[in-house]
Chains A and B, each alone.
Chain A
Amino acid sequence: MNQKELKELIEFLIEKDITEFELERGDVKVRIKRGADARLAAPPETRFVQVAAPAAPPVEYAAAPPAPPQAPAKAEAEESGLHEVKSPIVGTFYEAPSPGAPPFVKTGDVVQEGQVLCIIEAMKLMNEIEADVSGEIVKRLVNNAQPVEYGQPLFLVRPQ
């Protein structure tokens, strides 16, 4: 697989919003994981791909922007008075109660304090994460099936 093919593959994954992908073909093994927040991700030098041809440059972790991820979201939230709903646990973020079901909430929805916004799965247990304020969902900050850490912002809410 050459760099052009790899680039096309990554673009395809982004277009179809595929979060995780693994492929083994002969000597080549490709594993790509996408996520909006790079805080969990390795620094840009991370290599996930082993390619047979030594000339091919290593691919970087597809969604890891070098910029610090915290700063923009926090600045935005502070400036416009938006409230961050943060993850109380480490785990995997799921937008819907089960695969294929409609998401708990979407941008623009008005939610009440205590309303379930998402699920974070930890050690095979599905934990319902509730809104800690009432208001409008302004933005979702993580992707479906993305790993999240303690304190990671999940949603921006305009409190009402």
Chain B
Amino acid sequence: MFRKILIANRGEIALRVICACKELGIRTVAVYSEADRNSLHVRFADEAICIGPPRSAESYLNIPAVISAAEIANVDAIHPGYGLLSENANFAEVCETSHITFIGPPPEVTRLMGEKEKARGAMKAAGIPILPGSEGLVASEGAALEWAQQVGFPVIVKASAGGGGRGMRVIRSAEELPALFHAARSEAAAAFGNGDLYMEKFIERPRHIEFQVLADKYGRVASLGERECSIQRRHQKLLEESPSVKVTPELRRQIGDRLIAALGRIGYVNAGTVEFLMDESGSLTFMEMNTRIQVEHPVTEMVTGIDLVKSQIRLAAGERLDAVLNGAPIEHRGHAIECRINAEHPETFIPSAGKITVFHKPGGIGIRLDTAAYTQAVIPPYYDSLIAKLIAHGKDRNEAIARMERALEMFIIEGIYTSVPLHLKIMADPDFRTGNFDTKFMERFMARQKVRTA
């Protein structure tokens, strides 16, 4: 087992990793930028090293600074958290060369999953359903029509040379295909100097369902079930839960078995999350894989009772998967919901940096709070706005919602704006309560809010 671990991150996840290390009797080394001098992860680590000025590029993302700190502190391993350097294959390689264990998958696996087309190819070869795509350019309107009819409408045509919504058209029927195809082509040519197009199946109202996996260094993989993350604003998750109301035990088992086989083939190691889109008929198709621990990992921890961060550390230290899972099959108990509490205005979403003057945390049965914020803490403007994760667990979804509402009402944060009021409104929303939503939920929700206040 590792003697000492450096946490290459900040905020609540750095604290989370420190907690796991403390429980395992491992010494911790925190790195911090000048803006984070008074952070809790600095306070609670055994050692702390300042690695740069506030900007992430010059501190937390500065690989030489992080590795240099790891060397002078003489650590055995680095935990990269999420974001920052966690999916940087170069960083994982530098760790290897410096004889420091990187707590995560091998660099080549990170690289594979980081390249969208390669990841899709690898998953498809391993029997995981992927979103049908044209696998290359679509040369003509005729080819487009043929492909669309084979795959089924709606489809989306996209510019191969660029993105940002330009050269992109959703096509819902054969009648409208010719005009839209040509419109996309012209727009792409104008925007990128290249009118080449490819096509994909389009899902109108997708749900975002992701599966948590753990794997050891000996080829054994386990699936810990799914999380539903459809409540998103501009592709940023706001709220996550497990289980998903749309995933049956059979689907969970089926996807789980396929993932175990696929990731075993790929040689996956440590924790990871496989993201899917679920279409209106309930079928899952592979979107991408995140080769790290995720923000919303507590949701899975609450329903399975498995400490994912401790598992990561133990797996990286060479323990076998069944030892880490206590030799028991994975069980799901009850329902868990997580609300991401961001330092931003609950209606305008403008980031709100500054000093927290009051921080009264909720508690009680079924409530967990992962946070590095505290009274008198100054939330700096240099990093993302997540300041706390509020997780509620109950025997079923209704109890989880009731507990979350109660906890949100009793969570007092003053001095900065937060998304607490927004989450209370979401909890009260009828569509949310019935589980009747997709990734467009927030758009419709915000539109309803506007109407109400108009």
Contacts and interface: CB of A to CB of B under 8 A. Distances in A.
A90 B46 contact: no
A143 interface: no
Contacts of B34: 150-151
A12 to B, nearest CB: 23
B225 interface: no
B68 A122 contact: yes
Most chain A CB inside 10 Å of its own CB: which residue of B50, B53, B68, B71: B68
A30 interface: no
Interface stretch (A40-48, A97-105, A107-115, A129-137): A40-48
Chain B, interface size category, equals: 10 to 19
Given A123-B64, A151-B34, A46 B46 contact: yes
A89 B63 CA distance: 12
B447 interface: no
Contacts of B98: 123
B272 to A, nearest CB: 28
A123 B67 contact: yes
Most chain B CB inside 10 Å of its own CB: which residue of A39, A46, A149, A152: A149
A53 to B, nearest CB: 22
Nearest to A46: B46
B87 to A, nearest CB: 21
A42 B47 contact: yes
Given A123-B98, A150-B52, A89 B68 contact: yes
B68 A90 contact: yes
B69 A90 contact: yes
Interface string B61-89: 00011011101110000000000000000
Interface string A33-73: 00000011111001000000000000000000000000000
Most chain B CB inside 10 Å of its own CB: which residue of A42, A46, A150, A152: A150
A90 B47 contact: no
A43 B28 CA distance: 12
A151 B64 contact: no
Given A40-B72, A90-B69, A147-B72, A152 B64 contact: no
B64 A89 contact: yes
B51 interface: yes
B318 to A, nearest CB: 23
Contacts of A46: 46
Dominant SS among interface residues on chain A = loop
A49 B64 CA distance: 30
A123 B65 CA distance: 9
Contacts of A89: 64-65, 68
B295 interface: no
A147 B73 CA distance: 8
Interface in B19-57: 34, 46-47, 49-53
Nearest to A146: B72
B338 to A, nearest CB: 33
A42 B46 contact: yes
Contacts of A149: 49-51, 69
Nearest to A120: B68
B313 to A, nearest CB: 20
A122 B70 CA distance: 10
Nearest to A43: B46
A43 B42 CA distance: 12
Given A123-B71, A123-B98, A41 B47 contact: yes
A132 B51 CA distance: 20
Interface string A118-160: 0000110000000000000000000000011111100000000
Contacts of B51: 90, 149-150
Nearest to B69: A90
A40 B49 contact: yes
B72 A152 contact: no
Contacts of A148: 72
A123 B137 CA distance: 45
B50 A151 contact: yes
B57 to A, nearest CB: 14
A41 B74 CA distance: 12
Contacts of B71: 122-123
A39 B47 CA distance: 9
A46 B202 CA distance: 58
A152 B34 CA distance: 11
Contacts of A43: 46
Most chain B CB inside 10 Å of its own CB: which residue of A40, A41, A90, A149: A90
Contact of B65 (A40, A42, A150): A150
23 contacts: A39-B50, A40-B49, A40-B72, A42-B46, A42-B47, A43-B46, A89-B64, A89-B68, A90-B50, A91-B68, A122-B64, A122-B67, A122-B68, A122-B71, A123-B64, A123-B71, A147-B49, A147-B72, A150-B34, A150-B49, A150-B59, A151-B34, A151-B50
Interface of B: 34, 46-47, 49-53, 59, 64-65, 67-69, 71-73, 98
Q: Which 3 A-B pairs have the closest CB atoms?
A: A147-B72, A122-B68, A90-B68
Given A147-B72, A151-B34, 11 more contacts: A39-B50, A42-B47, A90-B65, A91-B68, A92-B72, A123-B67, A123-B71, A148-B72, A149-B69, A150-B50, A150-B51
